[in-house]
Amino acid sequence: MVTAATREQLQRVNDPDGLLVLLMLEHPSMETARVVNDTRDWVIDGTSWIGLPFRFKLPNSVQGEAPRAQLEIDNVGRALIQDLERLPPGGALQATVYVVSRASPTVVDYMFTAPLSGVSATVATVTGVVGNDDALRAPAVKMRFDPTTAPGLFAG
């Protein structure tokens, strides 16, 4: 649900302000990365956001597969790459997306959070898969009792 002011702004023929999409990437082993889908950096409510254009490729509806969107961030500069290089192998980020109006960027109109895994970088882009597939495929417990891990519990 967007605010009444943003709804009015979206329904205008000419919108002088527009919307901003903010992306926050979090993981315990790295400093939180904050990216704004713009060509310039922003400071919103005392928090700095790096201006890097990004886009989402929406998931395909494939039977038998969990829906996964793809996030693609332009690889401009080294600010984001330095944060991502601190990730451990196989580490999944927590991605939170905020939609705000440029006219009032401190008011969040829409927000969603999802895991971001499979992060890779090239000279041009940083990509990752957005979805719960990795979390849903993870085992429920760290150690299972089976004949390999606990042979004394099972008859020979």
Question: How far is the C-alpha of 91 from the C-alpha of 132, rounded, in Å?
Answer: 14
pLDDT in tens, 70-83: 999 887 677 677 77
What are the sequence ranges of the domains in the chain? 4-153
The candidate with the shortest Cα–Cα distance to 119, out of 97, 76, 87, is 87
Its pTM stands at 0.77
The full 3-state SS of 24-65, as one line of letters, equals: EEECCCCCCEEEECCCCCEEECCEEEEECCEEEECCCCCCCC
pLDDT at 25 over 70: yes
Higher pLDDT, 88 or 41: 41
Question: How far is the C-alpha of 26 from the C-alpha of 49, rounded, in Å?
Answer: 14
pLDDT at 104 over 90: no
